[in-house]
A and B are shown apart, each in its own frame.
Chain A
Amino acid sequence: MSEQNNKRWFSLNLGKAKKQEFYSCSCGKTAGSCGSHEEAKDGFDQVFDVKMNRRTAFKQLTASLMIGAGAVSTSCSMIAGNDRKEKAQIDWEEQFKGNYKLMTVEEKKATVDRLVRSYQLRKGKTISMSSKDAEEGVLFGYAFNISKCQGYMDCVNACVEENNQDRNSQMQYIRIHEMKDGKGFNFNEADDNYYHEVPAEGHFYMGTQCFHCDNPPCVEVCPVQATWREEDGLVVVDYDWCVGCRYCMAACPYDGRRFNWSTPEVPEEEVNKDQHYLGNRMRKKGVMEKCTFCVQRSRAGKNPACVDACPTGARIFGNLLDPNSTIRWVLENKKVFRLKEDLGTEPKFWYFMD
């Protein structure tokens, strides 16, 4: 095909795959089986080994140069303290780290250690941050008993405190919808910010949050793969990889995602210091976040904060793969349903009534 290489005109590459791809799988891999074509690139490779146009290249370079310049100036300066040098070093390494999803266990450990150290240097407080991966034989599922929920909102309280959500914009992952009896599940007429004694006469209550779909549309639309479904079914976000385009927010049919329009503010004494990289660690401005079924708790065997906080026992959480788990009993013995099942999103969040 020397003819092709020598051509001197410009042509658009409209779906014409390169020659070698004809003999391979459509995923572009020439060897190995389909489905296993994710190459583990990390760190510098992920940042630099991508095609980009001039504008994004300049953006990347400027951002990196700023940090680099800062790092160089502090590390070369004789007067700068060791702390500042270390901070600059951490910033540098954090800027060029890879996507968490592709990191090895050691790399995850390293980034978590950096973040803990960074927090220590900045705030003088020590947090504990986990990078615990999904455990084998676990698939998390959730059931919500509509007849039990009284609308007390204790779950919302517990969630905000557990997950270090922005107090300024009063971000909340959970919404409790107050619905009129006899109107069905009418979300248009439901009130999710009531303030009167509950339960109100002639109303029932229904909670929504991220449903951790097994076929999550939010993951599909993410242009940078900053959000994905973990092996234990949790749909998580790498806050450091998210570019804040909010496609996922638009794609979610359940209003499950939240965006940080401003820098999240949590009073220092209220910060939950038991954190997970994919969970409740401090976010920054311009990134998405959402319910993670309290990954920092659930992967340690605890219930999500909302489950423990609910005074009426309307919330049931457990391992869908364990045939003896209570969540399995609920699914097999109660009349359960999910929201918008026809979309094929396969939420792992079921509703039932007594």
Chain B
Amino acid sequence: MNNIAYNIRYILFFLLVFSACKHSESEYHNITDKIEAESKRYHGTSISSESLLEEIHTLQITEGEHTFLIPERKGQIRSYACTECHSIPLSELQKEGDVKKAHWDIKLVHADVNTMNCITCHNGNAMDDLQSLTGNSIDFNRSDKLCSQCHTRQFEDWKGGAHGKKVAGWAPPRASMTCVNCHNPHNPGFKSRWPSRYNTQKVKERE
């Protein structure tokens, strides 16, 4: 009897050793597996960006398989609608002579003179809209369509969310800033400047 009891004890012991609990290891081999498995059970969350977007006027756009919000633009342009001044074609307006100068300080630093000038994007005869390379009119709210004519790669990344920033918050609904929210269309490059912080303590520690 004793022998059997001992045997059982040993068997139990080995069972225990080989089936020991994995204490802190998760049930997934890696994070990719975890994401894949757990997102199958995903049914949305209670967290939403809606309250953060309340004060911001946005409009919904659909580009390919992506549907998301972008900030409205016309309301942000100080002197829109343009036709309030541009009531006659630009050539005639310039002939008039003694007129108030407006946006005279705009200097185009975007591509080079062979590629771009004002009328690549603006239509002197219909100032309230932008125009595509083929002369189709593009709404000021959708200036991204203008940029995407050349910057196709950036446009793809922007649609997916790899290029650009969110308006507010990570949670759905997705609201992404549009091109002109970060880039000045007349001078779109980022400038070199001094870093906004320098750690003097770290310098001391390293001396």
Contact = CB atoms under 8 A, between A and B. Distances in A.
Interface of A: 22-23, 25-27, 34-35, 37, 135-139, 143, 145, 150-154, 156-157, 160, 169-170, 172, 193-199, 214-215, 219-220, 298-303, 307-308, 310-313, 316-331, 333-334, 344, 346, 348, 352, 354
Contact of A324 (B52, B157, B168, B172): B172
Contact of A301 (B17, B47, B195, B200): B47
Contacts of A27: 21, 23
Question: Could you say which of A37, A135, A139, A313 has the most chain B C-beta atoms within 10 Å of its C-beta?
Answer: A313
Contact of A152 (B38, B153, B193): B193
Interface stretch (B76-84, B139-147, B158-166): B158-166
A291 to B, nearest CB: 16
B43 to A, nearest CB: 7
A302 B52 CA distance: 8
B118 interface: no
Interface stretch (B8-16, B89-97, B105-113, B127-135): B8-16
B34 to A, nearest CB: 7
A152 B202 CA distance: 18
Contacts of B162: 143, 145, 316, 326, 329-330, 333-334, 352
B2 interface: no
Q: Interface size for chain B: under 10, 10 to 19, 20 to 34, or 35 or more residues?
A: 35 or more
A191 B3 CA distance: 69
A199 B192 contact: yes
B174 A326 contact: yes
A214 B45 contact: no
A222 B35 CA distance: 26
A310 B31 CA distance: 26
Contacts of B149: none
B195 A22 contact: no
B192 A197 contact: yes
Interface in B4-62: 9, 12-13, 16-17, 20-26, 30-31, 34-35, 38-39, 41-49, 51-52
A310 B163 CA distance: 12
In the complex, the 9 A-B pairs of residues with the closest C-beta atoms, listed nearest first: A326-B161, A34-B21, A329-B160, A170-B201, A153-B195, A301-B171, A346-B31, A26-B20, A195-B198
Q: Please classify the interface of chain A as helix (H, G, I), strand (E, B), loop, or mixed, using the class held by over half of its residues.
A: loop
Contacts, number: 172
A19 B34 CA distance: 38
B102 interface: no
20 contacts: A26-B20, A138-B45, A150-B190, A152-B193, A153-B196, A193-B206, A195-B194, A195-B198, A220-B24, A298-B170, A301-B49, A301-B52, A303-B168, A308-B165, A312-B190, A321-B42, A322-B42, A326-B160, A327-B161, A331-B35
Contacts of A311: 182, 190
Contact of B202 (A193, A220, A328): A193
Given A22-B9, A23-B12, A329-B160, A137 B198 contact: no
A193 B198 contact: yes
Contacts of A329: 160-162
Nearest to A29: B21
Contacts of B150: none
B115 interface: no
Question: Could you say which of B23, B35, B162 has the most chain A C-beta atoms within 10 Å of its C-beta?
Answer: B162
Nearest to A143: B162
Interface in B167-181: 168-172, 174, 176-177
A176 to B, nearest CB: 8
A135 B170 CA distance: 14
Contacts of B9: 22
